[in-house]
């Protein structure tokens, strides 16, 4: 199962059909990113025969642009609308990845979205997990989609 291609395809499909933004995938990162500044992260936990998480990490300015396009309204600050939108985006991505994992014979459940926002925060990785972090670019800037999976 090619996690990289699944992340690229799912993210591109969601952004082009649901959020109406053109998006370009970059090369996967060689190292995981654990520290974020002035950002919003939407996180979904994975449980079952695979454990892990899916996260989308966006700088505040990119999160506001995504939310503006998603909701069809101007967004001036990172508020509940923004954290809800980024959480829902993570939920849509995780749902897509869940379908791929289920089709590959895995039995996976996903959690409700959690959203982290702040001037500075860090997130640790799942120990001994297979992971991929893909940078994406939209007109407003760059963001990351991260998937960590560990077979249970």
Domains identified in the chain, total number: 1
- Rounded CA-CA distance 81/84 in Å is 5
Predicted local confidence at residue 65, as pLDDT:
97
Low-confidence residues of the chain: pLDDT under 70: 1, 126, 152
pTM assigned to the model? 0.94
In this structure, the strands spanning 130-138 and 35-48 are unpaired
Predicted local confidence at residue 1, as pLDDT:
58
Predicted local confidence at residue 125, as pLDDT:
72
Q: What is the domain extent for residue 33? A: 3-151
Predicted local confidence at residue 105, as pLDDT:
87
- Contacting residues for 28 by C-beta, under 8 A, at least 6 apart: 4, 132, 133, 134
Residue 26 near residue 119 (C-beta atoms within 8 A): no
Question: What CATH number does residue 24 fall under?
Answer: 3.40.1550.10
Radius of gyration of the chain (CA): 14
């Amino acid at each position: 199962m090619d996690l990289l291609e699944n992340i690229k395809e799912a993210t591109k499909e969601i952004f082009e059909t649901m959020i109406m933004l053109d998006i370009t995938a970059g090369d996967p990162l060689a190292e995981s990113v654990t520290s974020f500044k002035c950002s919003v992260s939407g996180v979904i936990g994975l449980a079952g025969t695979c454990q892990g998480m899916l996260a989308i990490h966006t700088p505040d300015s990119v999160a506001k642009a995504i939310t503006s396009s998603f909701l069809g309204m101007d967004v001036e600050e990172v508020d509940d609308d923004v954290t809800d939108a980024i959480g829902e985006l993570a939920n849509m991505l995780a749902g897509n990845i869940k379908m791929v994992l289920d089709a590959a014979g895995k039995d996976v459940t996903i959690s409700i979205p959690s959203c982290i926002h702040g001037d500075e925060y860090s997130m640790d990785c799942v120990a001994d997990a297979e992971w991929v972090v893909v940078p994406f670019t939209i007109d407003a800037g760059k963001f990351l989609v991260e998937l960590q999976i560990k077979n249970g």
